[in-house]
Amino acid sequence: MAARRFTLVQALHVVLAVGWADFVLKYRGSVLGYCWSLIGPLVKFLVILYVFGPYVQPSIPLYPLYLFLGIIVWEHFTVTTNGCMTMLFEKEGIVQRHPFPHFLLILAVGWTNIIIFSTHLAVFAVFGWFFGVSLVWSVLYLPFIMLQMTLAALGVGMLLASYCLKYRDISHLWGIAVQILFWLTPIMYPYRAQSAVTASLIAFFRQPGIHSIQNLLSLFIHFQPIAIIINDVRRVTLYPAAAGTPTALHVAGLTLICAGMFLAGKWIFDRRCPYFTQEY
Amino acid sequence: MGSPAVDCRNIVKTFLQRKVPMRLLQDRILRWKIHSDRIRIEALRGVSLAARNGEWVGLFGANGSGKTTLMKIIAGIMRQDAGEVSTDGRLSCFFELGVGFHLERRADENIYLHGLLQGMCRTDIRRVTDIIIDVAGVRSHENLPLKCYSTGMRLRLAFAAASQIDADIFLFDEILAVGDTDFQKKCWWYLHALKRAGKTGVIVSHNMDDLERICDRIETMDRGVLNTGRAPSALP
């Protein structure tokens, strides 16, 4: 391939500039501006809090914060995966007519959504202050967790983007899958794994009747990466004393899993890239 | 004139297209029989093309003759089924003017992103931004988003941005002579300046007069086959 080679520094500039420009552009010319990105998760939060909250609230301390944190992490995952797909349509001119490493555009999507997530996190911090939650050193884990969630989201996003031009209904199917996954992720209900993830997993497989559908669903709900990530964010921000901070082994293991998802997505995306221009 | 800056040898590209296009995953699973018939389109059939350093080659041919497919393969946007492509030098290609331009962004923002996508460094982009705005003649609109520009102004800005890209090999696909007469003069001056500077160019156009004006050699393409090159004056 004769495409112009980008140095690492040039590639970094492209990712940061395109990601920031997309973030700014998203709200330019809109009266409510940035508020739009907050209204979605905020409305979802309020509806769930007032409809389902009374049933769940007694068993979860600081439930409004627990719920809001779960929703903003979930929003980051869904918006990033959808962004990877829409990027191919929004930047058609670049993809079709410019010899350019398309992978950088995916990273730019990740950067845009990290900026948005950071602003959501700032809103969460204000809520936390209002509820009297004090910051402890365990919040230093947050950058690692943000890295994990971005790697996982981009991995899934690249897999979807690889085929969304060939099969135009992938985005619709993913919309349905996201609805199902929302309920199969402990966002509004409690995450029950009390001990370390690996120990819980071993204990889970030792219990009788493991193959029942209910057990398999429970296995998925508690051990899928997004559920573990959401639980980790809550542990380090809301319940560091009660739930304990994640161990170094836990963080390293989960980062490896998320990196694996990212690399698998990138491998498929790179293989599919040369066909994109034929599939518009 | 020296070694080839662009060298394509026996390029073959075939598209296998379904007679009834399959755009949905549900079609693949539920209605695959309806979509199973395919047609074979041989876009390029063993095309060999070389452009020496400093040489300007024109590609002329009807729609569907394979010109753009060949250019996309040279640029690395599309992958060939067989054959080899090699380029010697930094390559810049223009299949469309203003790649990365967005109507909601101002001129300087668009120039910045366009430059980054073309592989320019930030210092170089800042250095040429004012030049581009002046060459395009859009100084009066520089603080407005591109949606406030006329079509001609947008084209001029895009061409002016393209003209500041530093490369050794230039590929132009149907983007010659945009805008009004005055600006077309500037475009031609720019292309001839590139040629005088020893840059290599491959140009695709439907307009033989345009190609004759700048190219050292013009190749005609017909249904995926390249006819041997002739000097512009020898063409009918």
Contact: A169, B119; criterion CB under 8 Å: no
| Cα distance between residue A128 and residue A132, in whole Å | 6
Could you tell me where the beta strands, DSSP code E, fall in chain B? 4-18, 38-52, 56-61, 82-87, 91-94, 169-173, 200-204, 217-222, 225-226
Task: Write out pLDDT tens, residues A155-186.
Answer: 999 999 999 999 999 999 999 999 999 999 99
Q: Tokens in use for A54?
A: 């009374």
CA-nearest of A109, A106, A116 to A40 is A116
**A residues 208-247 lying closer than 8 A (beta carbon) to B:** none
Question: Confidence band (pLDDT; 50, 70, 90) for A1?
Answer: very low
| Cα distance between residue A45 and residue A138, in whole Å | 25
Residue predicted with more confidence, A259 or A214: A259
pTM across the whole model: 0.86
- Tally of CB atoms within 10 A around B15: 13
Q: Tokens in use for B79?
A: 């992958």
Contact A269, A159 (CB under 8 A): yes
Residue ranges of the alpha helices (H) in chain A?
Answer: 8-27, 35-51, 53-56, 63-90, 92-97, 103-130, 142-164, 170-183, 197-206, 213-223, 225-237, 240-243, 248-279
Question: Confidence band (pLDDT; 50, 70, 90) for B100?
Answer: confident
Residue predicted with more confidence, B184 or B132: B132
Which chain B residues have a beta carbon less than 8 Å from that of A100? 117
Q: What would be the CATH architecture of the domain defined by B4-234?
A: 3-Layer(aba) Sandwich (3.40)
Contact: A173, B25; criterion CB under 8 Å: yes
Give the model's pLDDT for residue B165.
Answer: 86
Contact: A17, B112; criterion CB under 8 Å: yes
Give the model's pLDDT for residue A2.
Answer: 44
Facing A21 at nearest CB: one of B76, B95, B109: B109
Which chain A residues have a beta carbon less than 8 Å from that of B23? 166-169
**DSSP annotation of B32:** T
Average pLDDT over residues B179-193: 81
By C-alpha distance, the chain B residue nearest A95 is: B77
